Amino acid sequence: MPLIPQPAPLAGGALLARLHAINAEHGYLPEQELRSAADELGVPLSQLYSTASFYASFGFEPRGRHTIQVCQGTACYIRGGDKILEKLVAVLGVKPGETTDDRLFTLETVYCVGSCSMSPVIRVDGDTYGRLRADRLPRILRKYRPAEEQEA
C-alpha cells in the first residue's frame, strides 16, 4: 500500500487522445482546457504540460485558419523541398512556425508526410499537393483565400 493513495493509471493512449481532441477543437492547447483536462483525468497539470510540450503536434499559441505544412522529408529535400519553402516564406512573408498577420495561414515544416514518391510535397490542412513546382504555389494558396480578398 503506498502511503499516499495513487490515482488509477490512465487507459493506454488516453492522455494523447485528450490532447488531440482539444487540439482538434481549438487548433492549439488553451491553458484553461489543459487545466480542466488535468482535473478530469486526475493527472497533475505539470505532467500534462510536459507531455504536451514534448510533441511537435501540439502548440500553445493560436494558429491561422489554414496550416501549410512544407514537407522536408529526405525525398522532398533532395528534390527541391527547400526551394518550395523559400518561395512560401517569400510569398507569405512569414517564417516557419509563424502565422500571417491576417491570421489566414500558419506556415510549418514537417519531416515527411509519407508521400515521398510525389516529392516535393506540401499539405494544406488535410489536402496534400504533390509533384510540386514553386510556380504552382500561388494558385494553390488562392484556393484558401476568402473570395472577397481575391476580388480586391
Partner 1 sequence: MKVRTRSDLEKLSAEGRATLYPSRLKISVGMATCGLATGAGAVYNALCDEATARGLDLALVATGCIGYCQQEPLVDVRTPGRGRVLYARVTPDRARDLIAALVEGELPTEGALAAIPEEESLTGSEPAQGFPLLDELPFYTSQHKVILRNSGLIDPVRLEEYVARGGYQGLARALELAPQAVVDEVTCSGLRGRGGGGFPTGRKWQICRDAPGEPKYIICNGDEGDPGAYMDRTVLESDPYSIIEGMVIGGYAVGANEGYIYVRDEYPLAVERVTHAVARAEEAGLLGEDIFGSGFDFAIDVVRGAGAFVCGEETALIASIEGGMGEPRPKPPYPAIHGLWGQPTIINNVKTWASVSAILARGADWYAGIGVEGNTGTVVFSLVGKVANTGLVEVPLGLTLREMIQNIGGGGLDGKAVKAVQTGGPSGGCLPARLFHLPIDYETLTEAGSIMGSGGMVVMDEDTCMVDVARYFLKFTMDESCGKCTPCREGTRYMHSILTRIIEGEGTPDDLADLEQVATWVKGAALCGLGQTAPNPVLSTLRYFRDEYEAHVSERRCPAGVCRALIRLAIQPDLCTGCGICKRECPAGAIRGEKKEPHVIDPDLCTRCRLCHDVCPEGAIEIVR
Q: Is 135 in the site for partner 1 (CB under 8 A)?
A: yes
Contact 51, 96 (CB under 8 A): no
- Total residues binding partner 1 (CB under 8 A): 55
Q: Is 60 in the site for partner 1 (CB under 8 A)?
A: no
Report the Cα 44 to chain-centroid distance in Å: 25
Taking CB under 8 A as the criterion, the residue among 16, 94, 140, 141 binding partner 1 is 16
| Rounded Cα distance, 44 and 4, in Å | 15
Contact 135, 88 (CB under 8 A): no
Q: Is 2 in the site for partner 1 (CB under 8 A)?
A: no
CB of 93 to partner 1, least distance (A): 11
Taking CB under 8 A as the criterion, the residue among 42, 62, 78, 102 binding partner 1 is 78
The CA–CA distances, whole Å, from 11 to 36, 91, 118 equal: 18, 45, 38
CB of 29 to partner 1, least distance (A): 11
Q: Cell 493560436, residue? A: 62
Angle 87-90-92 (CA atoms, 0-180°, nearest 5)? 105
Among residues 64 and 120, whose Cβ is nearest to partner 1?
Answer: 120
Q: Is 124 in the site for partner 1 (CB under 8 A)?
A: no
Angle 139-81-57 (CA atoms, 0-180°, nearest 5)? 90
Q: What is the contact surface with partner 1 in residues (CB under 8 A)?
A: 9-17, 19-20, 43, 47, 50-51, 54-58, 72-75, 77-80, 82-83, 86-87, 89-91, 110-119, 121, 126-131, 133-135
